[in-house]
Each structure stands twice: as structure tokens, then as C-alpha cells.
Amino acid sequence: MYLFVYGSLCKGERNHHYIANETCLSEQAWVRAKLYKSEFYYPYIVHDETEITFGELYEIDPKQEGLIDRLEGYHPEDSDPLFKKEWIKVTTQQGEFEAYTYFGSDGLQKEMEITSGDWKVERLLHSSPVYYFAYGSCMDNERFMKAGVDHLFEKIIGGAHLDHYELLFSHHLSDGARADIGEAQGKRVEGVLYEVNEEALDYLYNREGVYSFHYRPTVVHVQQGECSYRALTFTVISKKPNRAVPLHYAIEIHRGATNYVSSSYGEQIVNMFSKQLPVEGFTEYLEEQTEGGSS
């Protein structure tokens, strides 16, 4: 039995313990629906084929169904429930699933539309402090310096890793691809964790093309040593097959990663830009760095 959750049952939210022992199939699942915050603060969705709500997909023990029903205030015999349980098509990176979820009833008052379509993002942006996980060119401080925003990214927590994701290059531009992440069991993405303020977030939203619908914000759980952080990062909306990146972008990723990622992950980056998705001129760049370091 599959369950799609988009609010308090999600990872890191207050009711997640109800399904913490169930099998999470996707943290980046989505459905065709519009997301609202109710007058009682909790979120709910309504049918809308033109909008998208992001959430998580679980395979749960059928014995848990009654418990979740009670939590959501759903009773089959109630003619006017607060929430209505319905089946819906859920899209994930692994494919499509039919799952049940809970829609808000007509009686709920719409306090605010959640324009991001993601309750976890909404919650994180209204918390303090806000952490940001960079896995691509935003690991590179020189890039920030050129943009005159390096002062916004001075609070560096350090290197961190994101488990069960892989590094992709799925956003295609005229000169090559840009970095992305995708869910992948057993794999890991490493990067840099920052503490950021509102001005930094505004810069990131513009830089990542959120308003032009290239990337979307998402919340991930990253590890740094024994510490776990809920962090904002960005992922490509319309993913395409991996493609080589331009030389300047490969240099930014390599340069930014040098001080923060593990040696093995650094070797993966070098191997990718040298062999898997070869970047013209990258080998020469590495040779120059080696010569410069030995002089």
C-alpha cells in the first residue's frame, strides 16, 4: 500500500514518527494538486491539474492505515470530514505510482497558497537558522567574489554529504550542462554547507533560475560528522540525460570542492570530467594546477 504525504508526516516534521519505520520510496515525489495553508496552520491540497505539490512517497504496512486516518481526522462514516482520503497518481524519478493521500475538504479556509508547492520548503524558510547545501559551482567562493556576494556566504559550516542521491548534469544550456541531484539508493553527493540569510536566499533563487522554472528549491537532510542538518538545496525540474559541462563550470566545481569533499569524491569529480563526461581542456587545467603546486 502506497501513501503520499506532503505535510506534517514528512521527514523532519512533527508527525513523521508515525511513518518513520515505513519504507520511503521517494523524497522528491509530486502530484497534480494545489497546496494551501489552512487557518489552523497545517497544509492541505485541493484538486488542480495545472499545479504541482511536492512530497514523499511511502510503502506502508496496511495496519498503519487506520492510525493515519485518525491522525488526519478522516472517518469513512463521516459525511463531511475535515480531510478526504483519495487515490492519486504520484510521479517519482523511479516511475509513477497509485497512492492514497488526504485532500482538504471544502470547509477548510484557505489562509495562504504555498506557491512553491512544497511545505517543507515553506517551513524551512520561516525557521532560523537556514542552512544551504551547495553541490555544484556554488561550492566555489571565487564565483561568489566575482558576483560581489561572497560576504553573504561567509558562514561556512563545512563539508557535508547527502546520502542516497547522485550527482547529475541534467540541465542543458547552449554551452553545456549544469549540475543537479537525483535520488539513487546507495550513492552519495558531497558538497558545502552554509548558514545563509534572506539576502543570500534571494541571490540563490535568482542564480538558480527558480523564477524561470529551471530549478526548484527542495529540503534535504545532510550529514556532517555526527551532526544532521535540514538544508535547502536546488534540483532541476525537467531533467535531461547527463551531458558534459563547459570548462569554466568544471573548474568552478573542482576548485570549490577541493577544500571540502573527501579525496575519493574528489577523484570521482576528476574522473567524470576527464573520462565519463569529458570536458575539453580539463586535463590541461589539472596539469597546470599540479605544476603550480610543485613550483
- The DSSP code for 269 is H
Catalytic site residue from 13, 122, 208, 252: 208
Taking residue 276's Cβ as centre, other Cβ atoms within 10 Å add up to 11
Task: Read off the C-alpha cell for 242.
Answer: 547527463
- How buried is 177 (Cβ within 10 angstroms: 0-12 exposed, 13-18 middle, 19+ buried)? buried
Is residue 198 part of the annotated active site? The answer reads no
Helices (H) then strands (E): counts for the chain: 7, 11
- How buried is 289 (Cβ within 10 angstroms: 0-12 exposed, 13-18 middle, 19+ buried)? middle
Q: Which of 262, 252, 245 is nearest to 188 (CA)?
A: 262
- 3-class SS at 41? coil
Are 136 and 178 within 8 A, CB to CB? yes
Active site residues: 208
